A and B are shown apart, each in its own frame.
Chain A
Amino acid sequence: MDTKILISVEQLYRYYGHTLAVEGISFELAQGEVLGFLGPNGAGKSTTMQMITGNLAPSSGRVRINGIDLLDEPRRAKAEIGYLPEQPPVYQDLTVDEYLAYCARLHRISKGQRSQALQRAKDRCGLGDVSRRLIGNLSKGFQQRVGIAQAILHMPPVVILDEPTVGLDPNQIREIRALIRELGESHGIILSTHILPEVQATCSRVQIIHRGKLVFSETMQELERRLGSHALLLETRAALDTATLAQVAGVTRVDALGSNRARLQFGDGNPAEAIAACVAAQGWGLVELALDRQTLEQVFVDLTCSDIPASTGVAA
C-alpha cells in the first residue's frame, strides 16, 4: 500500500485564554489509514480537529495537509479536507439537494461533475429518498448523514469526522462504519468518538488524548497483540493451590485472586488444556477457565481515569 503522508501535525498548542486545551500534539496520518481519536469529554479532540481543518488557528505548531502547509496556503490545504464538525453544519431552510449543490460549489467542483458528485455522495450516505426534503424537517440521524455527505462530496484525500455516528440508529451506525472502512481504503480518515467498539470496528490506528496531550498511539495490530491475552483466568469450586499450578508446563506466573480464583500468565502457546487436566487431577472442580482479555476500554480507563497522578503530572 502507498504510504503517502496525508496529514502531519507538529507540536500543536492551543490556549483558550490561560487554559491550555491542546498541548504539543504531534502525529501523522498516512493514506489508507483510519485513525481513531479517543478521549474523555473536554480532552481536546474537537479542538485538535478544528485546528487541522483551519476552523481554529493554533497558538503554535504546524499542520500540513498532503504536504501543503495549512497556515501558509489555507485555500489549497483546505481543498484536500472534508470535515464534519460535532454539529453537522447544515442549513435548516434548504433541501438536501440545494444544500449539497451549494457545498459542491463552495468546494469548486466543476459544473459537469457536480450532479455526479451529488449522486455519489447521496448514494453512499443513503440520502436518495430525502433529497427533496427540507433539512430542518429531517431527523437527527439524517441530518448527520447529510453532514457526512457534505464531507465526502468533493472526494478529498483526508476526511475528518467528529463523532459521526451520534444520533444514528444501530443499522445506520453499521452502514456508516462500513462507509468509513470503505473510504479508509483510498483516503485518510480521522474519526473521533466516545464509542470504543466503534474504534475497534473501524480504525486501523488508535490515539487517546487526555488533558490536551497525546497519551496513547498505536496501530490496531500492535494494540491487538498487546491486548491479545497472555493470561488465563481460573476459577474453581474448591480452594486452589498456586504452587501446584505454577508447575504446569507453559505457565510462567500465577497470581492468586482470592482462595479459589487465580490469574495465570503464559508465554507462547495456550496451556489451558494442561491446566484443566491439572485442576481435574487435583479434584478442585473447574468452574471457569477463560482468556483474560484486556479491552480497549481498559486501556482507555487506565490512561484517562488515573486522575490523581495524572493531574499532578499534567497540571499546566
Chain B
Amino acid sequence: MIFTIAIRELKNLFLSPLAWAIMAVLQLIVAYLFLTQLDTFMLLQPRLAGIEGAPGVTDIVVAPLLQTTGFLLLLIAPAITMRVFSDERRNRTMSLLLSAPVYMSEIVLGKFLGVTLFFMLLLAMLIAMPLSLYAGTTLDAGKLAAGVLGLALVLSSFAAIGVFMSSLTEQPVVAAISTLGLLILLWIVDWSSSSQEQVSTLFQYLSLKSHFESFLKGLFSSADVSYYLLLIATFLILSIRRLDQQRLTC
C-alpha cells in the first residue's frame, strides 16, 4: 500500500512540467560546476603529482561537487515537497486517501517515499557525471560511495521535512517557504559555533551540513547515519500526528 501511494506520488510529479524543469536546470548547473572543478583539477594536477599523499581527483572534483549539489537541492527541494499534502487538501482529494482502508502512517510513508524516490532519481542522474571520470582515471570508490550515501540521506531529510511542512498548510507556497526556512536554518545552524564555545556542540550536532561533511571526507560514521535517520523519523511521526489531529480539529 505504501508503494502504491509512493508510485502514484512519483508519477504525479512527472505529470507536471515542474519535475522535468527541475531535473533539466539542475543537470545544467551541476554540469557547469563539474567542468569548472575539473578545470581546477587539471591546473593543480602537475603540482599535486609531486606531493606525497596529495588530495586526488575524488577530493578535488567529487566532494565539492556533492556538497554544492546538496546545497542546490536544499533550495529546490521545497518546490518538490510543497504540494504533497497541500494540494490534496486544496483539491479535496485527501478524503480519497482518508476513506480508503489505509493507515495514516502508510499515507505519510507513501508520500515520503514517493518524493524520496524522485530525489534518488535526480541523484542518480547527477552521479553519472563523476562516474564518467572512470573513463580517464580511477576514483576513490569508498569516498565516492560515502559521499553519495551522505547526499542520499540529506535528500531524504529534505523530503521528510518538506512532507511535514506540507501537512501543516493548505497553501503550497507557504509550505515551500517554511520548508526552505527550516532547511536553511538547519544548514547554517553550526555557523554560530565558532564564536560561542558553550552551545557549539549542540548546534553542531543539529546541523544538517556538519554531518554531511564527514561523509564527504569518506567517513562513514553510525552517529551521522543515525542523526539523519532520527531526523527523518521525527518529521514523519510529526506528520502522522499532525494529520491525525487534523481529523479532530477541522
Q: A92 — which chain B residues lie within 8 A by C-beta? A: 91
Are A57 and B248 within 8 A (Cβ)? Answer: yes
A85 in contact with B92 given A57-B248, A106-B1 (CB within 8 Å) = yes
Binds A, one of B98-106, B120-128, B165-173, B199-207: B98-106
Are A89 and B101 within 8 A (Cβ)? Answer: no
What 1/0 mask marks residues of chain B from 81 to 104 whose CB sits below 8 Å from any chain A CB?
000000000011111111111110
Are B12 and A91 within 8 A (Cβ)? Answer: yes
Are B16 and A89 within 8 A (Cβ)? Answer: no
Q: Which residue of A lies closest to B8 (CB)?
A: A102
Docked Cα-Cα span, A57 to B245, in Å, equals 9
Docked Cα-Cα span, A87 to B93, in Å, equals 8
Docked Cα-Cα span, A81 to B16, in Å, equals 32
Q: B97 — which chain A residues lie within 8 A by C-beta? A: 106
Instruction: Say yes or no for B247: interface residue by CB 8 A criterion.
Output: yes
Q: Which residue of B lies closest to A77 (CB)?
A: B101
Q: Measuring CB to CB, which residues of chain B are less than 8 angstroms from any residue of chain A?
A: 1, 4-5, 8, 12, 15-16, 91-103, 247-248, 250
Are A108 and B12 within 8 A (Cβ)? Answer: no
Shortest beta-carbon distance from A296 to chain B in Å: 29
Q: B1 — which chain A residues lie within 8 A by C-beta? A: 106, 108
Are B96 and A89 within 8 A (Cβ)? Answer: yes
Q: A90 — which chain B residues lie within 8 A by C-beta? A: 93
Docked Cα-Cα span, A16 to B248, in Å, equals 9
Chain A's interface: helix, strand, loop or mixed, by majority?
A: loop
Between-chain CB contacts (< 8 Å), 16 pairs: A16-B250, A54-B247, A55-B247, A56-B247, A89-B92, A89-B93, A91-B12, A91-B93, A94-B15, A103-B96, A106-B5, A106-B97, A106-B100, A106-B102, A107-B101, A108-B101
Are B99 and A53 within 8 A (Cβ)? Answer: yes
Docked Cα-Cα span, A103 to B247, in Å, equals 21
Shortest beta-carbon distance from B248 to chain A in Å: 5
Q: Which residue of B lies closest to A88 (CB)?
A: B92
Shortest beta-carbon distance from B246 to chain A in Å: 9
Q: A56 — which chain B residues lie within 8 A by C-beta? A: 247-248
User: Among the interface residues B94, B98, B103, B250, which one has the most CB atoms of the partner chain A within 10 A?
Assistant: B98
Docked Cα-Cα span, A89 to B97, in Å, equals 9
Given contacts A55-B99, A79-B101, A89-B92, 13 further A-B contacts (CB under 8 A): A53-B95, A54-B99, A54-B247, A55-B98, A55-B247, A78-B99, A78-B100, A78-B102, A81-B99, A85-B92, A91-B91, A92-B91, A102-B4
From 65 to 95 in chain A, residues with beta carbon under 8 angstroms from any chain B beta carbon are 74-76, 78-79, 81, 83, 85-87, 89-94
Shortest beta-carbon distance from A159 to chain B in Å: 11
Docked Cα-Cα span, A102 to B96, in Å, equals 10
Are B95 and A85 within 8 A (Cβ)? Answer: yes
Are A55 and B95 within 8 A (Cβ)? Answer: yes
Are B103 and A150 within 8 A (Cβ)? Answer: no
Q: Which residue of A lies closest to B4 (CB)?
A: A105
Docked Cα-Cα span, A57 to B250, in Å, equals 9
| Chain A to chain B: the 5 pairs with minimum beta-carbon distance, closest first | A89-B96, A79-B101, A106-B100, A83-B99, A89-B93
Q: A102 — which chain B residues lie within 8 A by C-beta? A: 4, 8
Q: B94 — which chain A residues lie within 8 A by C-beta? A: 89
Docked Cα-Cα span, A74 to B99, in Å, equals 9
Q: B100 — which chain A residues lie within 8 A by C-beta? A: 78, 103, 106-107
Docked Cα-Cα span, A87 to B8, in Å, equals 21
Shortest beta-carbon distance from B86 to chain A in Å: 14
Are B102 and A75 within 8 A (Cβ)? Answer: yes
Are B95 and A89 within 8 A (Cβ)? Answer: yes
